Structure 1
């Protein structure tokens, strides 16, 4: 053996920036078998051509290509085979990036809601933290116009205390399936007579999720109207008390309800299990009498 033509496993590891452990594993699976083994010892020696293969393998592994596929690429030594594998892997990487961006966006929306809800709860517990109106105070405000993906359905014997888990889960799944970008909370709108949702009646209920603007017949504008708003903090099964408080205020201040009421779930029953940390914003469209 001409020593200058071959390299020890340590030299290969250093030159190719790869661990000795990995080189031994490649030997075990017959991906890169040392060209020379010194009898009576564990010494392995690699040729320069094998070092080139190791560098190619490392490059392909950095792309996330599997060892089985890499073994085929190296053994065939064919440019078209490599091009096909790299192209296919890049397609997979693009899909992974899209999914990661979606996960990041949804995580950011969730974090914003949790932070907003936490701040509202903190203000209720310690009014000294309030920078404006307290969360249990009633406000008149212009609801900003947003876009929502919506699903509208008539539900028989509906009672507001019950959480429709299938519709909660379904709206989020539909947004993902349509490739839409969620940008805010779930909004439930009751297209029915006022307070019917508390009376086990047949109700026309719309579940919506705020999304970025897009051209879809399942996306509509929401907002752009004046509304009486109030936060309900705590168990959802007694939200009717907050409704009553808001409706009393509307009557006392000479307003009239002018459209279907909505609930914006800042922290919802499917976000956290502790009912005392649920935060729902009630929106009642109104006009001055």
Structure 2
């Protein structure tokens, strides 16, 4: 029976020498023959099929540790079915994760395309349909309070995909004379979470909103509030409600400081025509 060096095994099975050495190290596929004279290690021809089995299970998504448990032992039909069901569930979860990422990328694509159209640091008036949010009433007058409140009301999950499934925003009152802002709440548009937490439903009505896109950080964006207020005063516009600050894309600058892509808007008051 022929024996094959690690180089030959690598070439004939289209797998790297580094991977073969790793499989040997973890005990998944160890060379079967050791030369008494040279102490060189060789693979047998039957291990070609073992490699095929490893590759097959990898295509099903099994981890190397799971494959190692299956190698070299017979499994019942029930165990085979359990393995198939488990891997199917794993795949469905991965597909769900990919769908979340895909939907978020589509949202970001549309948002950034809109920003390119309107440009940053420029005021425009935009019509919005009715929007529904979950509001967590926690007042923040400083950046420290806002950061702590955010972590209190939003889930401290290790699953970063969860953060892609909602838009985060706040209603903000702003005193232009004192240049003082107060974040009145934290809002998310994830409706599944509304069933799990104690946030209250809040609706931003349809209508025209005076809007600006910019890059900056919370409590460091007063100039954009002032810019909108100047626009309102110059154009004699009546407004309704507080400012709505939306966090679009988290970013940091070269100094490590927050430079998040944001949207600031406030509703233009409807004029009733008799």
How many angstroms does 1:73 deviate by? 0.9
Residues in 2 aligned to 1:229 and 1:70: alpha-carbon distance in whole angstroms: 59
* Larger of the two Rg values belongs to structure: 1
Q: Figure out how many residues of one structure are paired with residues of the other and give that number.
A: 258
Q: Does residue 145 of structure 2 align to residue 153 of structure 1?
A: no
How many angstroms does 1:56 deviate by? 1.0
Of 5, 8, 11, 2:4 maps to 8
State the match for 2:187 in structure 1.
208
State the match for 1:263 in structure 2.
244
Of 172, 192, 212, 1:231 maps to 212
Q: Which moved more, 1:160-169 or 1:52-61?
A: 160-169
Q: Map 1:3-152 to 2 at 5 A.
A: 3=1, 6-9=2-5, 12-41=9-38, 42=40, 44-48=42-46, 50-79=47-76, 80-110=78-108, 112-114=110-112, 116-117=114-115, 120-121=118-119, 135-136=122-123, 139=125, 141-148=126-133, 150-152=134-136
**SS of equivalent residue, structure 1 residue 76:** coil
Of 232, 241, 246, 2:226 maps to 241
> C-alpha deviations, 1:91-129, integer Å up to 9, x for none?
33433333343344435544554554466456x6xxxxx
Instruction: Give RMSD over aligned pairs.
Output: 4.6
Structure 2 unmatched ranges of 5 or more: none
**SS of equivalent residue, structure 1 residue 287:** coil
How many angstroms does 1:35 deviate by? 4.3
Residues in 1 aligned to 2:35 and 2:161: alpha-carbon distance in whole angstroms: 61
> C-alpha deviations, 1:166-219, integer Å up to 9, x for none?
445667648989979746x534235x8x85997879x783432345x7795668
State the match for 1:281 in structure 2.
264
Residues in 1 aligned to 2:271 and 2:213: alpha-carbon distance in whole angstroms: 24
Structure 1 unmatched ranges of 5 or more: 125-134
Evaluate the alpha carbon distance shift between residue 118 and residue 32 of structure 1 in structure 2; reply closer, same or farther with a 3 A threshold.
same
How many angstroms does 1:152 deviate by? 3.2
Evaluate the alpha carbon distance shift between residue 232 and residue 58 of structure 1 in structure 2; reply closer, same or farther with a 3 A threshold.
closer
Q: What TM-score, normalized by structure 1, do the two folds share?
A: 0.62
Evaluate the alpha carbon distance shift between residue 113 and residue 22 of structure 1 in structure 2; reply closer, same or farther with a 3 A threshold.
same
